[in-house]
Amino acid sequence: MSSTDSIKATHNDVPAKLPFLRQVNRRLLTVLALLATIMFFRNPAALTGAAGCFLFIALWSGVPLRHMVKRLLLIVPFGLGAVVFIPFQGAGTPFMEIGPWTATQEGMDSATVILLKMVCANVLLTYLLFITPLFDLIRSLRSLGVSAIFIEIIGLMMRYFFLLKEEAASMVSAQRSRGLELRGWLWSRRTYKRFGELLGVLFLRAFHRSERIHQSISARGGFSGGGMSRHHGESIQGGGSAAIEVRDASYSYGGSNIEALRGVSFTIERGVKTVLMGPNGAGKSTLISLLNGLEEPSSGEVQVLGKRWTRESGMRLRQRVGVVYQDPDDQIFSTSVEEDVAFGPRNLGLPESEVKERVADALRTMGICELRGRSPFELSYGQKRRVAIAGVLAMRPEIIILDEPMAFLDPKSRDDLQAMLDELHGLGITLMVATHDVDFAAEWAERVLLLKEGRLLAAGTTDLLYDDALIAKADLHLPRLARPFRLLHGVKGLRPRTVQETAQLIWKLMMRGPGTSAEEDEEARKPDVRRGR
């Protein structure tokens, strides 16, 4: 069970016991009012009494004592850090001396008051968060008139809180499976060192993730300050016939000598289904950033939809070229599925009726209408991926680029996704899929781009995927359906792409014996042949 699942389960299991606090709005208002009130308290005894009352209510409402103690312990270092110098500031009755410094009685009282306020606030917020699903909490904030931007920021912070928590948990369990000993950790210097390393890696991961989510928000107009108006005057089908034209493009990441792309040239016509393939580090993601206008080539030229775009004009390009990133958690950031899908169209400045229509269309195309009111925190990986694609679809782009869309999907979801890609293609959208999946590429694509170490090895039809030498050079392997034919004597050049084509070739081999050749292979591919898997 993931942490979000457990939180959800806890919320469902523990209803608020005070009847008037059953409604989230009232609960939220009550807690906010209590928080505001205790801020005016100056008396340590009164604050201690208040903390005791809040603690009693929280425990009575079902918050486990262990959970409460854990939360309180969490604030101890911050609380002490915040108040430790207060007793030594200002004049007053001397209380104690540490070296040249004198703590005063008045200073000690101020520090105690601040610490007690922190405890009160922590108990109240723990109570609120424990008995209220976060999504409901945010919905209530919205209904209380808190600004949308503020809520989006809270949503983002919540998203990262859970992601970081889950990443930290998975890193600790990975380390434990490799011998990290947590028993007696208090006394072990080695464990402290290991935790320090883990913390560093966690921050690095968080940094990279925030970079990706920033890209994703920016791609959907999130930082345009409302200036991302729809290109009304701009012809959707403007420019030449090519959707993408890359000429001798190179790219190096700033501060590194690594040339992620070196003199890459290719053209993709509109409406063509293309796969971008290559081993890890080949430059696929970098190329996607160039095509989406997030980066500009260091040299050479990238033209998308007949225009050369700069990083500044890239915002308008991203209305027309949608990118679906590999990890949907990098892309989903709003507090409900509907909000998330509506994020891009709202940034286009469209009227609310059109936003709603686009959202409904995108959800329908992705088959996730029933998820519209759900929190993205509660979705499975496959569902999140659909939401991410719906978010891009709602922008009505002319080109959609998907980075490893099949990764981590179960077989049924893969088939669904492939069918959905065909549906999008039927709508006239130019599709480019970066993938390592040769079987999918062979069956689905019309055009193949093979990259390695930043260079374009080859560009052409799916026949490239059956070229043993080229495939080996690109660190790929032959499509599975073609492999058995390689073992048969006298059978050459067969390139079955689907199970249906393979069955036909096997049937022909059985009827005629070895000698079935590339011509018969072509025969099996004729349009009247219904494709199956």
Ligand X SMILES: Nc1ncnc2c1ncn2[C@@H]1O[C@H](COP(=O)(O)OP(=O)(O)OP(=O)(O)O)[C@@H](O)[C@H]1O
# residues near ligand X by CB under 6 A: 12
210 contributes a contact to ligand X by CB under 6 A: no
Q: Which is nearer to ligand X, 115 or 264 (CB)?
A: 264
Stretch of 132-140, 184-192, 251-259, 394-402 lying at the interface with ligand X (CB under 6 A):
251-259
CA distance 103 to 357: 65
Q: How far is CA 477 from CA 17, 310, 439, in A?
A: 61, 37, 9
Tell the smallest beta-carbon distance from residue 403 to ligand X (Å). 7
Backbone angles phi, psi at 302, to 5 degrees: -125, 120
The residue (of 111 and 321) whose beta carbon lies closer to ligand X is 321
| Residues in region 435-474 near ligand X by CB under 6 A | none
The nearer residue to ligand X, 135 or 325, going by C-beta atoms, is 325
204 binds ligand X (CB under 6 A): no
Give the nearest distance from C-beta 321 to ligand X in angstroms: 17
Region of 167-175, 274-282, 354-362, 387-395 interacting with ligand X (CB under 6 A): 274-282
Residue 470: CB partners within 8 Å, gap ≥ 6? 450, 457, 458, 464
Whichever of 280 and 353 has its CB closer to ligand X, that residue is 280
322 near 366, Cβ under 8 Å? no
Interface residue with ligand X among 107, 133, 221, 278 (CB under 6 A) is: 278
**The token pair that represents 285 in the structure block:** 């993601």
In whole angstroms, the minimum distance from the beta carbon of 348 to ligand X comes to 29
In single-letter form, the type of residue at position 22 comes to R
Q: Does 408 bind ligand X (CB under 6 A)?
A: no
Q: Does 207 bind ligand X (CB under 6 A)?
A: no
302 C-beta neighbours (distance < 10 Å), count: 22
- The residues that bridge with 434 in the sheet, in sequence order, are 276, 403
DSSP reduced 3-state for 278: coil
Stretch that binds ligand X, among 195-203, 213-221, 276-284, 472-480 (CB under 6 A): 276-284
Tell me the per-residue interface mask from 281 to 310 with ligand X, x by CB under 6 A, - otherwise: xxxxxx------------------------
Specify burial of residue 173 (Cβ count, 10 A radius: 0-12, 13-18, 19+). exposed
Minimum distance from residue 452 beta carbon to ligand X (Å): 9
What element of type H or E holds 343?
A: helix 337-347
* DSSP-derived pairing of the beta strands 259-269 and 242-252: antiparallel
- Token readout for 173 is 């369990």
Among the listed residues 56, 150, 185, 253, the single contact to ligand X using CB under 6 A: 253
What single letter denotes the amino acid at residue 43? N
Question: 281 vs 382, which CB is nearer to ligand X?
Answer: 281
Q: How far is the CB of 454 from ligand X (least distance, A)?
A: 7
Figure out which of the listed residues 12, 235, 256, 257 binds ligand X, where binding follows CB under 6 A.
256
Residue number with CB closer to ligand X (103 or 401): 401
DSSP annotation of 450 reads E
| Beta carbon of residue 286, minimum distance to ligand X (angstroms, whole number) | 3
For residues 271 and 195, the answer to whether their CB atoms sit within 8 Å is no
The residue (of 106 and 475) whose beta carbon lies closer to ligand X is 475
4 near ligand X, rule: CB under 6 A? no
CB 196, min distance to ligand X, A? 24
Total Cβ atoms within 10 A of residue 123: 24
Q: Both tokens of residue 353?
A: 């009726």
Minimal distance in Å, beta carbon 254 to ligand X?
Answer: 8
Do the Cβ atoms of 403 and 369 come closer than 8 Å? no
Contact between 405 and ligand X (CB under 6 A)?
no
Instruction: Report, in Å, the least distance between residue 417 CB and ligand X.
Output: 18
What's the Cα-to-Cα distance from 16 to each of 3, 4, 380, 463, rounded to whole Å?
21, 20, 28, 64
Q: Which is nearer to ligand X, 201 or 258 (CB)?
A: 258
Using the minimum distance from each CB to ligand X, give the nearer residue, 270 or 284. Answer: 284
Following DSSP, what letter does each residue of 234-276 receive, concatenated? S-TT-S-SEEEEEEEEEEE-TT---EEEEEEEEEEETT-EEEE
Q: Are 517 and 492 in contact (CB under 8 A)?
A: yes
Distance CA 491, CA 485 (A): 7
Q: Does 215 bind ligand X (CB under 6 A)?
A: no
Please pick, from the candidates 217, 219, 246, 260, the single residue that binds ligand X as defined by CB under 6 A. Answer: 260
Q: Is 317 in the site for ligand X (CB under 6 A)?
A: no
CA contacts within 13 A on the Cβ side of 152: 12
**Close Cβ partners of 471 (under 8 Å, ≥ 6 residues apart):** 438, 465, 477, 478
C-beta closer to ligand X: residue 258 or 488 = 258
Shortest distance (Å) from residue 456 CB to ligand X? 12
Q: Binding segment for ligand X among 52-60, 250-258, 437-445, 474-482 (CB under 6 A)?
A: 250-258
Residue 224's nearest CA partner among 328, 344, 138 is 344
Residue 258 near ligand X by CB under 6 A: yes
Q: Which stretch binds ligand X (CB under 6 A): 110-118, 193-201, 252-260, 345-353?
A: 252-260
Q: Stretches 60-68, 253-261, 471-479, 521-529: which one binds ligand X (CB under 6 A)?
A: 253-261
Terminal CA-CA length for the chain: 34
Whole-number minimum distance, CB 328 to ligand X, in Å? 15
**Which of 71, 284 has the CB closer to ligand X?**
284
424: left (phi over 0), alpha (psi -120 to 50) or beta: alpha
Q: Which residues bind ligand X (CB under 6 A)?
A: 253, 256, 258, 260, 278, 280-286
